[in-house]
């Protein structure tokens, strides 16, 4: 890649890059606050709700709504609301994200998510840092690393399949955020005990770095990327590469698109 192209991309597209960092940062704030409210032993909500499964379902609903709000937000509509290096790399492979845009998107996602976890730590202190919240780190469950790997592969494959099918359908495009949010809620509720429900290398790194918890970290790099790439390969095999129109989860007519060149 040409360095001059990178400088040009940074000058022209920096708002979208900052939005990607902001979006994952907001997701991590929500994850930190919601998990602390439900799981910190001294939290009134934790003391009122003794059923751990119920607390996990409620956490999933809150995080699903967070994902929907970010994707539907004006800023989310501007960047495309990837919030996830695995999503960005999938659309890079499909030819709908330029290489330098992908580089800066991914940097922003990692930096934005990680910085915000430090902010949440400063605000909540030990309630956020100590078990069972523990920086909302994603870790392999009791069934072990290989089960966590397979689970992450499966949920990542399903998420990208839903995104591609919805965002490239005229009838379903406006509901992409709803589908994504529902899946986030379901995965946290059902799959969470297996892997912590990441689907996102930057999201896992954002918790792992301040917590200094790296157990199974490699699988959160490999599984989301592999699962989403496999979903894209199957989608294009079935429908052709031309079936993918753009990398935005929701393509709004009132926001520019740095990926397909649309200008309102």
Q: Residue written as tokens 């915000």? A: 116
Cβ proximity of 58 and 38 under 8 Å = yes
Q: Token pair of 127, please?
A: 């309630």
Cβ neighbours of residue 245 closer than 8 Å, sequence gap 6 or more: 167, 168, 251, 260
Nearest to 21 by CA among 86, 65, 81: 81
Distance CA 75, CA 242 (A): 27
Write the pLDDT tens digit of every residue in 171-230: 999 999 999 999 999 999 999 999 999 999 999 999 999 999 999 999 999 999 999 999
> What pLDDT does residue 143 have?
96
Q: Token pair of 220, please?
A: 């959160």
Residue 70 has pLDDT above 90, yes or no: yes
Cβ proximity of 196 and 141 under 8 Å = yes
In this prediction, residue 41 has a pLDDT band, given cuts at 50, 70 and 90, of: very high
Distance of CA 108 to the CA centre of its chain: 13
Q: Token pair of 32, please?
A: 């930190």
Whether the pTM exceeds 0.85: the reply is yes
Cβ neighbours of residue 204 closer than 8 Å, sequence gap 6 or more: 137, 138, 196, 198, 217, 220, 221
Q: 51: how many CB neighbours lie within 10 A of its CB? A: 9
Q: Residue written as tokens 């792992």? A: 208
CB-count exposure of residue 29 (10 Å: 0-12, 13-18, 19+): middle
**Domains of the chain: residue spans and CATH:** 3-243 (1.20.1080.10)
Write the pLDDT tens digit of every residue in 226-245: 999 999 999 999 999 899 99
In this prediction, residue 2 has a pLDDT band, given cuts at 50, 70 and 90, of: confident
> What pLDDT does residue 228 have?
98
């Amino acid at each position: 890649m040409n360095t001059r192209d990178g400088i040009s991309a940074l000058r022209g597209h920096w708002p979208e890059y900052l939005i990607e960092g902001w979006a994952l940062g907001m997701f991590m704030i929500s994850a930190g606050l919601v998990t602390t409210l439900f799981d910190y032993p001294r939290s009134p909500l934790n003391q009122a709700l003794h059923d751990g499964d119920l607390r996990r379902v409620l956490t999933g609903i809150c995080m699903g709504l967070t994902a929907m709000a970010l994707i539907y937000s004006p800023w989310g509509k501007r960047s495309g609301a990837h919030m996830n290096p695995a999503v960005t790399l999938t659309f890079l492979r499909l030819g709908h994200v330029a290489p330098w845009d992908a580089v800066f998107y991914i940097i922003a996602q990692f930096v934005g998510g990680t910085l915000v976890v430090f902010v949440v730590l400063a605000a909540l202190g030990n309630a956020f840092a100590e078990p069972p919240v523990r920086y909302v780190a994603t870790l392999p469950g009791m069934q072990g690393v290989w089960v966590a790997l397979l689970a992450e592969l499966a949920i990542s494959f399903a998420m990208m399949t839903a995104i591609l099918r919805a965002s490239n359908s005229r009838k379903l495009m406006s509901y992409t955020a709803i589908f994504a949010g529902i899946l986030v809620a379901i995965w946290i509720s059902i799959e969470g005990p297996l892997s912590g429900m990441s689907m996102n290398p930057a999201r896992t790194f954002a918790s792992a770095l301040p917590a200094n918890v790296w157990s199974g970290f490699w699988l959160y790099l490999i599984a989301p990327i592999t699962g989403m790439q496999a979903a894209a390969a199957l989608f294009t095999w079935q429908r052709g590469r031309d079936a993918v129109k753009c990398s935005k989860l929701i393509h709004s007519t009132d926001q520019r698109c740095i990926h397909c060149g649309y200008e309102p």
